[in-house]
Structure 1
């Protein structure tokens, strides 16, 4: 059985290998055997491979944080799913493998109207967005601000915020993304520039901006701090810049801004994951949430997929050996 295995912590090009592993055992009572269809290769996968993710599994191990598959067979007593059902792989079921076994009760069945490629990306970025938007109980009409607004999380934040009656301020790197994100429902979109903060403040007037999301870190944080108002909360969920989170402490004190590092699998968030995953699936099925498209690589071509990711961003790994 083909899988992608982490052999040591370090540079992913050297530590991740395509491997031939034994088939998983037949599903026991309460379990399901699943043919993995697609699993994303994303930034957090490489953080895990480098050993700087909050989870450090024993090595060697298959990795992969999310994916979609088709139920092949079930063990005794399983009523939640049937063979042929399309399911999302839950946290803890490592997805970079042709077949996996999971607890049936942990599986989320997704409607077959949702394309497999979209379903494969449902359980992390949209759920992260739903959790971020809910970090503060804000009244309808309140503003939230984010950078990395064109990313999978960023686009999902726009949709989840609108679902909850909130308005979004969205910071992007390229001006050509402005009209695209407005088409998704973003209220304010500005390209990062020296006067971006002034333009945002002019647009929102005296309204408070009490919640912000930082997916870039490094120097990009400064603009978020410029936009946030007194008593705000800034959640750091990503480091796309490759730089550490280094906010100006004087600004934090002057504005009484609280910062928190966000990880979706903290104990406090676990009870919300199933409902947010189901809501994400409904939003995609209804056409209100469209996740960014990603090119597909056969899992056997993992080195090429990784090289593409390094230059261009997220890709999908195809683990179905029967797909042409």
Structure 2
């Protein structure tokens, strides 16, 4: 059958100029495989970094872009058990999800509730577990504790606000503009501040000088230093992104005399080291919360796969109020 894939054969600083919608012939599914029509796939910062060549792992070129998403089974090859045509499934990580259709190993497809919001479920694989693990893997936070994060209006930031609230953890949310601040306030952020050189002072005033043991950094550059100034002695900064394009900057004073720790987090590393039980428990809990509407994040815009250039350009713009999704028209 005919399918449309978002393909690229080179990397560079302008990803929207490199990506193209390409028509391809997909083979019928072989034994143990499934033909899936893609319902929704998000554009994450990691996708843009992959297109520019700055991500930690890069696929061989040419490649089909897209790392996560949700689809519906159209046809099954022989010898497939436990799946049915018409079923909603979570697509395998990194399988080239910016496409109208794809063929995948049936054993790698995870059944999802058919009546849940496919667009929200399409964002399940990366951002929600990242937010959950950032809250649990580095500091033993208790109800009433504070955590500070920058890029609070990002996908991970939105999930973190909601998951922290469920655990009784209070959030200080740092953004770069007032429009983004209103989005985070509406999502339930306890304190929302505009980033700047006076951030540590703003935080002390807003929290009445509370102890803050954990800072979560998606920006890098001088923003990391400002987060360091907000932490109590012995606190931890966890970096999981580089939205500024700059290395994390932290004064040795914080590391040597105040005992701060700067570390990194990558979901792929956690996933590789976690047990099957740990992975299953985490994703089952998040799936239930998203399917029931407990966890939702804003969606700024949706684009057909044939509009992939416009979609990538929209996702690369900083001033958005939510995620950009590819939603192929079938």
Q: TM-score scaled to structure 1, two decimals?
A: 0.89
From 112, 126, 129, the equivalent of 2:131 is 129
1:281 to 287, 310, 319: 287
Structure 1 residues 315, 184: closer, same or farther in 2, change over 3 A?
Answer: closer
Residue of 260, 263, 281 corresponding to 1:257: 260
How far off its partner does 1:205 sit? 4.4
Q: Which runs of 5+ in 2 are unaligned?
A: none
Say yes or no: does 1:306 pair with 2:309: no
Q: Bigger shift: 49-58 or 264-273?
A: 264-273
Is the CA contact 1:127–1:273 (under 8 Å) kept in the aligned structure 2? no
**Cα deviation, residue 298, structure 1:** 1.4
Q: What are structure 1's unaligned runs of at least 5 residues?
A: none
Give deviations 1:113-164, integer Å, cap 9, x for gaps.
4322222222221121112112223233322110111111101001122233
How far residue 306 of structure 1 moved from its aligned partner, in angstroms, is 2.4
Alpha carbons 1:32, 1:72 under 8 Å: kept: yes
Match of 2:273 in 1: 268
My pick for the range that moved more, 136-145 or 120-129, is 136-145
Aligned length: 320
TM-score normalized by the length of structure 2: 0.87
CA RMSD for the aligned pairs? 2.3
| Alignment match of 2:218 (pick from 215, 219, 237) | 215
CA distance in structure 2 between the aligned counterparts of 1:178 and 1:297, rounded to whole angstroms: 26
Q: Secondary structure at the match of 2:297?
A: coil
Q: Contact (CA 8 Å) 1:148, 1:154: kept in 2 or not?
A: yes
State the alpha-carbon separation in 2 of the partners of residues 286 and 69 from structure 1.
19
* Structure 1 residue 179 displacement after superposition: 5.3
Alignment of 1:99-178 (within 5 A): 99-136=101-138, 137-178=140-181
**245 and 194 in structure 1: CA distance in 2 versus 1, 3 angstrom threshold:** closer
Q: Indicate how the Cα distance of structure 1 residues 57 and 145 shifts in structure 2: closer, same or farther if over 3 A, else same.
A: same
Shift of 1:84: 1.0
Q: Does the 8 Å CA contact 2:305/2:328 hold for their aligned counterparts?
A: yes
